[in-house]
Structures are given as structure tokens and as C-alpha cells.
Amino acid sequence: MSQTSTELQIAFIEALGVTSRKMRTLYNARVAELGLTFSRARVLTLLAKSESCNQSALACELELEKPTLVRMLDRMAELDLIERVPDPDDRRVNLVRLRPHGKAMAERLLAERAGFIGTFFVPEDEEALKEATSLLHAIVDRIERMEREP
């Protein structure tokens, strides 16, 4: 018996959720071996992509409340992973940037993440991966349009 379109869509979204949870659980264990939490690892990898980021943008990207982010950044600063510096364009704003120890950890995390993700795929997955990536981007675009509409 073949699935209806709606059943297939539901099965896809459920499989996506299960996959995401299982990958995050495994990744959490990997970053814990480095003495980090998943959230701290995300801060390091996000900051590795840019020279600095303001706290509000970081909170938005991480989907964290600002007080939660402030506590996490305080702890990361104590561990010499990040530092806060005044924004030269707006002294009311703090920019967050990596310290040398944080840069080294971020490089390690990025290498670890690439190897970790690579274990889930085989060369034969490449075409399906391209199609799934396109589909996910299209879904994100539709969701973002829905978010903008009243």
C-alpha cells in the first residue's frame, strides 16, 4: 500500500526530527569530551565564521534569551574562550570575539564536526543529499514567508 502525499510529508518531517535529535545527542557527547556544552560549541563555531558578533545577534542566532546568553558568555570568558569588547560604532553594544584559546578550540570543533558529519554519508548519497538539501532550503524559504505574513 503506497503512502499518500500527506503521510509521506509527515514521515519525512518525523524522520528529520529523529535524525536531528540523534545527531545532537552524539555530537553533545563529542563536545563534552572537549569540556564543552553544545551551546558553547555553537558559540565558538559561529564566532569562528566571523571576526566578532554583537550579543543580541548571537542570542538570536542561538535562539537563547539574552540573560541566558550573558551567563554563558560570562563562563566562556572565565575559561578564556571569548572576550567582550565595545563596538566602535556603538558604545552601548558589546561585541563578542574569540580569544586565542577559543580560536584553537573552534578549529578543533570545526574539524571534529566535519569528521563527525562525514560518518553519516557514503559516496552514493551525493545526489540524494543535493536533492534533500534543495528541498530543505525550499521549506525554510516557505516557513520564512509564512513568518512574515500576518
Task: Give DSSP secondary structure letters for 47-95.
Answer: HHHSS-EEHHHHHHHHT--HHHHHHHHHHHHHTTSEEEEEETTEEEEEE
Gap between the terminal Cα atoms of the chain: 39
Given this model, what pLDDT does residue 93 score? 87
pLDDT in tens, 50-79: 888 999 999 999 999 999 999 999 999 999
Quick: pLDDT tens for 75-112.
999 999 999 999 888 888 889 999 999 999 999 999 98
What residues have CB less than 8 Å from 43, skipping those under 6 apart? 58, 62, 72, 73, 76, 82, 96
The three grid cell numbers given for residue 31, joined into one nine-digit string = 563536545
pTM: 0.80
Overall average pLDDT of the 17-44 stretch: 93
Q: What is the CATH number of domain 37-119?
A: 1.10.10.10
pLDDT at position 2 is: 67
In this prediction, residue 1 has a pLDDT band, given cuts at 50, 70 and 90, of low
CA 25 vs CA 18, 40, 69, 90, 106: distances in Å:
11, 15, 21, 39, 19
How is the chain split into domains, by residue range? 37-119
